[in-house]
Structure 1
Amino acid sequence: MNRIKQAFKDRLWLGVIIVGLFAGLIGGGIALGINNLVQHHEEVTSTRVPAGSNKSGGTKVNKNKADLNGEASQAYKSVQGAVVSVINKQKVQQSSGTLGIFGYGSSNGSNSDSSSDNKLETASEGSGVIYKKSGNSAYVVTNNHVVKGSNALQVILSNGKKVNADLVGADSATDLAVLKINATNVKTVASFGNSNSIVPGQDVLAIGSPMGSEYANTVTKGIISAKDRTLKAGTDGTLTSVIQTDAAINSGNSGGPLINMAGQVIGINSMKLASDTQGSSVEGIGFAIPSNEVVTIINQLIKNGKITRPSLGISMVDLSNVTSDQQQSVLKLPTSVSKGVVIMDVNSGSVADTAGLKKYDVITKLGDTQVTDAGSLKAALYKYKVGQNAKVTYYRDGQQHTATLHLTKSADTTSTDDSQQDNN
C-alpha cells in the first residue's frame, strides 16, 4: 500500500515539473516573439522616410572657428606679393601667303618664294621671386632652365600685371638666373634666411605657378626631408648640394621660393624626382637650391653678369665608361682603382698642361675630395677660386702621382657641352 502511495506522489511531482517547464517555454517564446516584434517595429520606424512638410530647413553657415592667421598663413602673406610667374618667349618661324594644295603659296597665286617672319610665342613658364629693389629696378631670381633659349622674357606680378624683363645673368652649373624688371608696381620684396640653419622635419612652404601662370601663387606645405642631398642640379652635370622637401613641386614651380614659417626664402625650387631607376612613380621628393648658395651666385651675376670659375683645360670621360680590358691594357690601372675621370685631351698652355698632366692620366682626387666622375671633379674644382692652388692625385701607367694646379685660368660656366666627352 505504501509503495502505491509513493509511486503516485512521484508521478504527481513529475507532472508538476513538466507543466512548469512547458509553461516556462511558452512564456519565454512569447517574450522573445514580443521582443523581436518590438525591434522590427523600431527598425522600420527609424528607416522609413518621414511624411510631412519639407519646409523646416533653415541651415546656416556658422562662424569659422579655424585660425585664419596661423603661422603658415602669415608666412605666405609676407612673401606672396614677391612671387612672380616667368614667361619664356621664343621665335617661331611662320610663313606668309595662302595655303594651297602643296603648302603655302603667295597671296597672288604665283610660284614665287613665300616670305616669312618670326613671331614670339610662349615656349615655357616658370616661377621666380623678387628679392631686391633698387631705384627704378627690381631683381628676380629664377632657374636658368626657366629662361634658357629665350628671345624675350616677361614677368607676371602677383597682382596680374605683365611686365617685360631683361636677363642680367645666368649660371648653368647651379641652375640660377637673375632678371631685371621695372620696379614701379613692385610692393613686396622677399628676404633670404640662412639655409645652414635648417633641420629635417621643419615646416616649409613652396610658392609658385605649377603648370603655368593659370595657377599663379599656388602654395603647398611640407617639411624639410633632408638638408644636404648631392645631385646634378645644373645642365652640365655638376654635382651640387640641395635641400630635399616633400612640399608639392610641379612643372612651373621651378624658380619659385621655398620659405620657412618666418616667411624667409631658404631655397629656390629647382626640380623633383618623378620616377626611380626602375621607372616607378615617385611622390613627395622635390629639391631646392639652398639660399646661401643662391645669394653667392646672384650677387656675382649682378656684379659681372656671369660666374667665373677655375678651368683645368681638359676634355675627359668617366672611368666607368672605359671597359675593363682598356683599363688594364691602355691605362694600366691597378684593379683597386675603379672610379675617376680619364683625361682625353689637354689644351696647350692650360692649367693642366702647366701642371704636367697628359692624355690618359686618370684623376682620382682633387684636394681632399675623391673624384668618382666628371660631375664630382667639377664640384670639387668649383670650390676653388681663380688664383688659388689645388693638389691633384692621378694615375699614369699604373703609378700614383700628385701635382699642384695653379688655377690661373678661368672659364665662363654659363655655356654647356652636351657631348659624351666632357670639358673643363
Structure 2
Amino acid sequence: MMGYYDETEITREKSKPRRSFKPILSSLVSGVVGGALVLGVTTFLEQGSQTENKALVETSTQNEAKETASTVSTKELSADSNSIADIVEQLSPAIVGITNMQSQNSGDMFRNFSENSESESVESGTGSGVIFKKAGDAGYVITNNHVIEGAESIEVTLFNGEKVPAELVGTDALTDIAVLKIAAEHVTVVAEMGDSASLRTGENVIAIGNPLGEEFSRTVTQGIVSGVDRTIDVTTSEGNWALNVIQTDAAINPGNSGGPLINMSGEVIGINSLKISQNGVEGLGFAIPSNELMPIVEDLMKNGKVQRPFIGVGLIEMSQVPEYYLQENMKLPEDVKEGVIVGNVSEGSPAAVAGLQQQDVIVSMNGTATTSASELRKILYTETEIGEEVDITLYRSGKKMNVQIKLTNRDATNA
C-alpha cells in the first residue's frame, strides 16, 4: 500500500475495469460527475467550500528589519559515523515537530454530547518540519500539507522540547507542501537547502524526524539515494497528481512526514513525504526534491497559495464509463481509446467562454495526448502559463474538433 508517513492513504492510478452503466445521460452525470475534479487551483467544489487551513496563532509585533539568517555552515564530509554525528549535531536545532490541533466536543462520562458541550482542542496528527529561513522577527518552517491539513491551530515542538504556536503561511495540496511561521526568537539554526539535481543514485543520505510522534523525536536513520527522478501518482484533496520524488531506503516511519532528507554536506535535498507499506516490501521511501519544492515555497510565502493556469472543467476518466456508452450514446469512434471526458463546465470559466460542453472528450492539449485527468493537469500546470492560449483537441458527438482556450487563474474568474 502506498501511504504518507503519517499513514494518510494515497493511491496509485490504475485502469479501472469498465463497469456496467445504464445508457442514459442522467446516470453518467449523477453517478460519475459527482467525483469529477475541476482543473484549477481547487477541485470540482466551490472555492468557498474548501477547508480554510488558517491556524489560530499568537504573533509578535511585526517590525521592519533587514533579512537575517544564521545558516549551518556546510562542508563535504565522508559517510563515517562521526561525520553523520556532526551533521546531526549541527542540524538538530532546525528540526521541529508539528502537531495538528483540531476541535472536539467534550461530552459527559458516557460520551453523550449536547448543544452545551464544550469544545476542546485536541491533537489530530503529528509530523515533522525543518526551519529553512529567518527574516526579521519570524522563522519559517517547511512541512507537508497532509501534516497540517484541516488544522484549526498548529503547534511546533522545538529542539529543547518547548512548544510554540505557529501560523500557516501557505499550503499546496497537489505538491504536498506547506510553510509555517514561528517567532524568530525560537530560531537558533537555519538549515541550508541543497541542489537535488546534483544527486546520484547510491549517494549516502540521512533522515531526521519524529517517527510515531514526540516519544522518538529527532530519530536519525541512514540510507542511500535508491533512485532519482521517480514519479509517483498520488490522490490529494485537490485531485490526482504525478509527484516527482527521490527514492531512498533510509528507514522512515509514520510521523516523519515533513522532515528533511540530508546529504553528506549537511544540506537538505528533500522533504520526506511518502512510503510504500505492504507485506514483503521494505526500504521504499520517497522525498520531494529540494529543487521541486523551493519554487512552490516561494509562491506560498508570497501569495499564500500557488497560482496556476485554470480551465474550469470537471473531468471523468474514460475507464469509468462503459465502452458501449461511449460508442452508442457519445458516438465516440472505436479507435479512440484514450482521453478524458468533460463532466462539468464551470459557469464563467475559460472553458465556458471557449464553448466546451458536457461529454466532450479531450484527447490532447497543445499536441500532447491527455490520457488521464492527472496527465492533463500535469501538462496544464507545468507546460503552460496564465494568460496563454492553448489548443484543445476533442471529440463531440463523434466529430473531431479543435478549440482554443485562453487560460486564467481562478481568482480572475467567478468560476
Q: Normalising by the residue count of structure 1, what TM-score does the alignment of the two structures yield?
A: 0.73
Cα distance in 1 for partners of 2:277, 2:394 equals 37
User: How far apart are 1:409 and its partner, in Å?
Assistant: 3.8
User: How far apart are 1:74 and its partner, in Å?
Assistant: 3.1
Map of 1:83 onto structure 2: 95
Map of 1:407 onto structure 2: 407
User: How far apart are 1:261 and its partner, in Å?
Assistant: 1.0
Q: How does 1:196-215 map to 2 (within 5 A)?
A: 196-215=197-216
Q: Structure 1: which 5+ residue stretches go unaligned?
A: 1-65, 106-112, 413-423
2:175–2:243 contact (8 Å) kept in structure 1? yes
Q: Percent identity?
A: 44
Map of 2:255 onto structure 1: 252
1:84–1:129 contact (8 Å) kept in structure 2? yes
Residues 1:367 and 1:304: Cα distance change in structure 2 (over 3 Å)? same
Map of 1:330 onto structure 2: 329
Residues 1:317 and 1:67: Cα distance change in structure 2 (over 3 Å)? closer
Cα distance in 1 for partners of 2:404, 2:346 equals 17
Cα distance in 2 for partners of 1:286, 1:411 equals 36
Map of 1:263 onto structure 2: 266
Aligned length: 332
Residues 1:67 and 1:304: Cα distance change in structure 2 (over 3 Å)? closer
User: How far apart are 1:104 and its partner, in Å?
Assistant: 5.7
User: How far apart are 1:136 and its partner, in Å?
Assistant: 1.7
Q: Structure 2: which 5+ residue stretches go unaligned?
A: 1-78
CA-to-aligned-CA distance 1:10-39 (integer Å, 9 cap, x gap): xxxxxxxxxxxxxxxxxxxxxxxxxxxxxx
Cα distance in 1 for partners of 2:367, 2:389 equals 13
Structure 2 SS opposite 1:332: coil
2:128–2:143 contact (8 Å) kept in structure 1? yes
Structure with greater helix percent: 1
Q: Which moved more, 1:389-398 or 1:307-316?
A: 389-398
Cα distance in 2 for partners of 1:357, 1:114 equals 47
Cα distance in 1 for partners of 2:212, 2:386 equals 40
Residues 1:324 and 1:104: Cα distance change in structure 2 (over 3 Å)? closer
CA-to-aligned-CA distance 1:277-309 (integer Å, 9 cap, x gap): xxx442111111111121111111111111121
2:307–2:409 contact (8 Å) kept in structure 1? no
Q: How does 1:57-96 map to 2 (within 5 A)?
A: 68-70=81-83, 72-95=84-107
Cα distance in 1 for partners of 2:180, 2:303 equals 14
Structure 2 SS opposite 1:248: coil
The alignment status of 1:356 with 2:355, answered yes or no, reads yes
User: How far apart are 1:220 and its partner, in Å?
Assistant: 1.1
Q: Normalising by the residue count of structure 2, what TM-score does the alignment of the two structures yield?
A: 0.75
Cα distance in 1 for partners of 2:87, 2:280 equals 31
The alignment status of 1:160 with 2:172, answered yes or no, reads no
The alignment status of 1:274 with 2:286, answered yes or no, reads no
Map of 1:222 onto structure 2: 223
Cα distance in 1 for partners of 2:118, 2:351 equals 47
Map of 2:245 onto structure 1: 242
Map of 2:131 onto structure 1: 130
Cα distance in 2 for partners of 1:87, 1:270 equals 16
User: How far apart are 1:358 and its partner, in Å?
Assistant: 1.8
Between 1 and 2, higher relative CO (CA 8 Å, sep ≥ 6) is seen in 2
CA-to-aligned-CA distance 1:32-80 (integer Å, 9 cap, x gap): xxxxxxxxxxxxxxxxxxxxxxxxxxxxxxxxxx96523x333333322
Map of 2:180 onto structure 1: 179
User: How far apart are 1:340 and its partner, in Å?
Assistant: 1.8
AA in 1 matched with 2:187: V
